[in-house]
Amino acid sequence: MTIYWKRSRITKVLADAARVGSFSEAEARLDSIQLDVVVGDDQLGTPAGQAAALTAVATARKCFGRVTIVAEKDAPLITALPLGKTLLKAARRLGARVATKSRTRATHTIRIGNGPPVPAGWNVSCWWDRWLAGTRAFDDGPGDSRLALAGVFAGALAVRQVFACVVANRIVPPRDATVSLWTPWERVDIGANGPERFDVPDKLWLLGLGHLGQAFVWNICLLGGSGDRFAVLQDDQKIGVENEATSLLVLPNGRQIGKRKTKVAAPWLEASGWQTQLVERRHFGDVAIKEEDPPYLLSGLDRLEPRLTLARHGFPYMLDAGIGHGPGDFEGIQIRTIAKGQAIDGLWDRPNTDESAPKSLLSRQVYLELERHVGQCGTVEFAEASVGVPFVGAATGALVIAQVIRLASLQASPSFLQVELGAPEMTTIGGFARSPVTNLGSFSMRL
């Protein structure tokens, strides 16, 4: 359609918040970021270090159009991914440039471990300690680096802080932030960094393989594991041009455009040792659940009605993730855990069905200017599209996979959990879903 469509879900953050006068200006502001992701030798070969580096590279490349990974050495990938055998080869497949020294022209730097010296200027460090994850304005070094989920969350949060500078169109100082992925609703206790041993589900049903569904797969693959594992992948849609900027598994070479979303996700899980079954139709609650089917449904859908249908359908556990779709709430994350038979009345708010909201955008200068390039129909399609940025999906995926691990470990998970990525230490919960009384199928993981 237009060069603006590829990153339209991201540029709408700026356009719909009236922070730019045109989509060209939004594109230029994103392109002005020169980001270095600097990986130290101490983190090149750790699960969290590799996960943080790949997450930062993938999400930054999709947001800013380019990113450079800086490392003095390379290291074999710890988990098998369809990206190559080493960290730097994987980073290249994700669209990164590779360098051995930080660039003097870098506008922002994300540090992972004790890497090569970086020039003075804006920089933030990824930080974690087992299940604790976040960022540090001043590097005091990460702790236990054996959990990849912590690296994913930290890498996503670091890119989020770079993106905040773009939105504000000024330097926003990096900040310290820490979340416990194991208990994100609790005040962080640096001495309580979560279990070393836990259970991970060996059967999962993933419904919706767009922005959030692909983030689930990303986190599952980086987490690793062993033994027989099985996943049902369900989606009836194909990858569109606009999906490349928000979907973690879609590579920048454009070859996956037009492919079924299930067929894009399956190779990732299969490379990681999962057997997959593809269902390329919508779920209307008409698929009978059999005893051998996965007991955990991970849902990443946009609309409310399918969620309600599935919540009533009878999966032993449904974990539903949702994020905001506008310029003011795109960093808001909501996760719901529904046990079979649980009352769901009031668990979701009815969405705002005011159809005039997208139409009101059309009178703004940014959309009037866009109409010159894409015509009236194209402009309406832009206005009706939702906002979405990849680092929010990556962070959401880490939180969701952490919570399904809690259930597999016979621990309770909140019926409702809300996290604002701009202040992730401030969370809201609404009670707890009933925890399993027996193991529903899992493999044990020891860090």
Alpha-carbon distance of 213 to 266, in angstroms, equals: 12
Q: Encode pLDDT of 270-304 as tens digits.
A: 999 999 999 998 877 777 788 889 999 999 988 88
* Residue 352's pLDDT band (cuts 50, 70, 90): low
The answer to whether the CB of 384 falls within 8 A of the CB of 239 is no
Token digits for 10? Answer: 């991201």
Q: Does residue 365 sit in helix, strand or coil?
A: helix
Q: Encode pLDDT of 203-249 as tens digits.
A: 999 999 999 999 999 999 999 999 999 999 999 999 999 999 999 99
Report the pLDDT value the prediction gives residue 314, as an integer from 0 to 100: 80
Produce one character per residue of 115-154: b if its CB has 16 or more CB atoms within 10 Å, e if not.
bbebeeebbbbbbbbbbbbbbbeebeebebbbbbbbbbbb
Residues in the chain: 447
pTM of the full structure:
0.96
pLDDT, averaged across the chain: 92
The answer to whether the CB of 105 falls within 8 A of the CB of 34 is yes
Alpha-carbon radius of gyration of the chain: 21
- pLDDT for residue 109 is more than 80: yes
Report the pLDDT value the prediction gives residue 35, as an integer from 0 to 100: 97
Task: Delineate the domains of the chain, giving CATH numbers in brackets.
Answer: 33-180 (3.50.50), 197-353+387-446 (3.40.50.720)
The answer to whether the CB of 70 falls within 8 A of the CB of 115 is yes
Report the pLDDT value the prediction gives residue 407, as an integer from 0 to 100: 98
